[in-house]
Structure 1
């Protein structure tokens, strides 16, 4: 059976691309295409007069969306400017439209009439009574002056009677004459006069001890000797002996000193051991002194008190150790500090005033 031959014609497609378009590279050489971004087709040139249909569709859609939003929110339109107001014009308009207060003319006229009536009234006494009133005032003033002068005279007489009152304690002091003597610029805390009354010793917190001699003193009223017997310790107490030839110096230190009439040192008490707790076993005081006194019977014996809660008796000839030790105790058995001490006239008793308010003998 003889069959005819099959032939294929040539198929040709019309390309929509312009003639100026660049030819795409041939990718059929291999099994895979080339990697890279696919470029969009070129936009039409300016010669085209009709806009694209996609742009028109977008514009219509946006207009519809805006209109729906306005209806939902109740806004008549977007992009309008806010209304501006002039504050000054508004204030002026408010002032013009404000209601004015009505003037009460009747009340003003009434007040003016009352003021005129007050001006017409007479102030003060009548002219005929001025002379009589002045005379009465003058007589009363004269009587008051007389009474005041009488009362002043009576008060002066009473004051004079008080000044010369014999029972007053101040009138018992023979202070017909007085002088002022300057020890220094600091406070004087101790005084002592010898039995004859010729010498006076003063001690101060400025560590100075001054000797005054009234028999040889001139008009300058100055001391004839000033010294610091205890270095940097204030002079708390001074006592002349019964004969007046020695003076006991009690200072802030733990060692008492005995000086002669001219201020030269004759004796210094020993200092105790601070590391011994039993005060009876120490040879002297271990704390600052508070007071002292001479024995009125035994001229060379004296007494001292200190803040170590002890009283100690000393003999002038023996300065190495005290003679007796007395401890001061409070009511509960605890230690108490003696602030002062003294002998009685017979030298049989020793009294001590303590810091707890007690007086122990």
Structure 2
């Protein structure tokens, strides 16, 4: 049968000299753009040389889940900001950053470009990192910044959060007697780290995010303040239910560790009460597990009080990123301004699981 179709000709063979010149010009433009992007990255690295490589904030999730994460977390973060949690206000904004497939939210104010997000998030680029979009790209809350660091893996570790012992006074027990109401249980702090190794040796380990996986359960001891009954001890046997029939106080908490001891001394010397310290310890136990660098992967909150954004704590001191004392001073001030005191914030936290 005769074939009436024309033979196919390879498309490049049909290009004219002018068309070839156009293709060459286009490739030159692309090469210049790529080169410019690399030059921008190299400039950023030189500009930030010597600032350290601690990575403090990331957002989103693995690339194939970014869209779903955006839809879920955008509403959560925006709700937290609207409610004013952790000092957030109308000026608070956020951008998501993904590094090697793991991530979290970066909170801040006056974001303009990708570079501004990295700066406010304390993110330092290293040689060989690739960033998308480019550092000069304008950002919005729908932007997802991706950083790939070759030779590094994301690893998750866990550590213990100590529990406290709280003594609560109750008139349902005779004076001078004590009874354990709740046994203490340690909590769990989870950390996601970006680990770079040379063979089996760890070259660097930077924390991407850290959060309270399980809050500690305080050991609660009831301390009797009542009058013993002369008729029988039956009134005391009923106290095994935890003294629910009598009045109980917020409780006196024994400090654990250097940070809690400082917080206790600071509060008492400043005219606050033991009940205030009890409320402070409870909130911080649940918010950050007493990790000054705690960085929530879904909300972007930072530090002991989980401020939104962490830079809000700069009002208490320029060393807010690392100094637990500065962070606690900001926490106390925030509780006073928003809830009328620490116990007010504590009561709100018990009802809402946030403050």
Q: What's the TM-score, normalizing by structure 2?
A: 0.20
Structure number with bigger Rg? 1
* TM-score, normalised relative to structure 1: 0.19
Bigger RCO of structures 1 and 2 (CA < 8 A, at least 6 apart): 2
